[in-house]
Amino acid sequence: MSRIAWSLGLWMALAGCATSTGDVSPMKAPLPAPAQLPQDGKLRIIAFGAHPDDCELREGGAAVKWAALGHHVKFVSCTNGDIGHWNMAGGPLAMRRAAEVKQTSKLLGISHEVLDIHDGELMVTMENRRTICRLIREWKADLVISHRPNDYHPDHRYVGVLVMDAAYMVTVPFFCPDTPYLTKNPVFLFSEDAFQRPNPFTPDIAVAIDDVIEKKLAAVEALHSQFFEGGANGHAGLVPDPNDAEKVAARKKVVRENFSKRFAATATKHRAALEAYYGKDEAAKVGFAEAFEICEYGRRPAPDEIRKLFPFYTK
């Protein structure tokens, strides 16, 4: 680059850094702006799952309940799920699964996004940390939900790690300075899992989802590639002839029953946690539930704040 061009460039850069007074001292530079929070009095919840189905399975019920009260919920799938089927993969599967979560989001009444990262290949990188940080900030989240970092699936574990790595950092103005920072660290929660090592899941919060179980099961049904067709571990034998209405209905019924059982198991397992929020009598009647653990790296909600974030309890 010619000397003149270089000098000119430097001069222009200096001018660009100057305030109107021509002062370029760092303390006079414009401060990064905090995120402007909407004033509609509604909660803003963002959940991160590894694949286009994880959020739906783990917090789909709570999502419907929040949405029904006008709160803003977003589900983010951190991979595109493109190896999550026994017969289809790559772009076509990614597109198919994107369509599935578009459908489930309509059913649940929420927003969603699918990141274009290959299924099975989610790694803990600075780039991914920034992506998650920006998503949390852009959503202006009060509450963030994700996986614990203990889980059979590496993608689940690394979503857990990445979201923990974004906790607190979302409040640091000069981290990803292109995206307005949050003035309050959101509350971070982990969704339920069954793993015991190195430490088991703790049900700090449990939510009855009986009133919305039909919508959750409808979402499960809409995730056709994963459950009806069996996903990555499925096989042709699982999938009936689409023209055989009886067999199709039977298969749908099997899927529905499996998931009903799974969602009911949470209620049984975490009855004590339900009692803490619903009282013994009401908790005893709960058929289906979702449970969450408070992550130590987010803001620690006081008991009354938990009730504000989960405006579902009668007690």
Partner 1 sequence: MAFRLSPLALLLLVSCATPSSAPSRGGATEGKPAPVARMDGEQDGKLRIIAFGAHPDDCEWAEGGVGAKWAALGHHVKFVSCTNGDIGHWGMAGGPLAKRRAAEIKKCGEILGTEALALDIHDGELMVTMENRRTICRLIREWKADLVISHRPNDYHPDHRYVGVLVMDAAYMVTVPFFCPDTPHLTKNPVFLFSEDEFRRPNPFTPDIAVSVDDVIEKKLAAMEALESQFYEGGCNGGPHLVPDPKDPAAVAARKKQVRGEFEEYFSGPTTRHRGALGKYYGAEAAGKVRFAEAFEICEYGRRPTPEEILKLFPFFPAK
Partner 2 sequence: MASEKLRVIVFGAHPDDCEYVAAGTGAKWAAKGHAVKFVALTNGDVGHFAMAGGPLARRRAKELAACGKILGLTSVSLDNHDGELMPTLENRKTVVRLIRDWRADIVISHRPNDYHPDHRYTGVLVQDAAYMVTVPFFCSDTPHLAANPLFLYCDDKFQKPAPFSPDIAVAIDDVVEKKLDCFEALESQFYEGGCNATADLVPSDAAGKAARRKQVRDRMRGEFARGERFRKALEKRYGKKAAKVEYAEAFEVCEYGRQPSAEELDKLFPL
Nearer to partner 2 (CB atom), residue 61 or residue 84 = 84
241: its two tokens: 């002839």
> DSSP letter string over 14-62?
HHHHS-TTS---GGGSPPPPBP----S---EEEEEESSTTHHHHHHHHH
Tracing tokens 């989001």 back to the chain, one arrives at 105
> Which of partner 2, partner 1, none has residue 196 at its interface (CB below 5 to 8 Å by kind)?
partner 2
Q: Which is nearer to partner 2, 49 or 84 (CB)?
A: 84
Binder of residue 17, out of partner 1, partner 2, none (CB less than 5 to 8 A by kind): partner 1
**Integer Cα distance of 147 and 88 in angstroms:** 26
CB of 77: closest distance to partner 1 in angstroms? 22
Site string for partner 1, 51-90 (x = CB under 8 A): ----------------------------------------
Count interface residues toward partner 2 (CB under 8 A).
23
* Distance of alpha carbon 101 from alpha carbon 270, whole angstroms: 28
- The answer to whether residues 106 and 66 touch, using CB atoms and an 8 Å cutoff, is no
Position 86 contacts partner 2 (CB under 8 A): yes
Residue among 201 and 288 whose Cβ is closer to partner 2: 201
Alpha carbon 238 to chain centroid distance? 29
Q: Is 195 in the site for partner 1 (CB under 8 A)?
A: no
Taking CB under 8 A as the binding criterion, the range among 80-88, 108-116, 172-180, 256-264 that sits at the site for partner 1 is 172-180
Closer CB to partner 2, residue 142 or residue 151? 151
Sheet containing 205-208, strands listed edge to edge, beginning at the edge strand earlier in sequence: 111-114, 72-77, 44-49, 143-146, 187-191, 289-294, 205-208
Residue 229 within binding range of partner 2, rule CB under 8 A: no
Report the residue number, 19 or 125, with the smaller CB distance to partner 2. Answer: 125
Q: Which residues bind partner 2 (CB under 8 A)?
A: 82-86, 89-90, 119-121, 123, 150-154, 195-199, 232-233
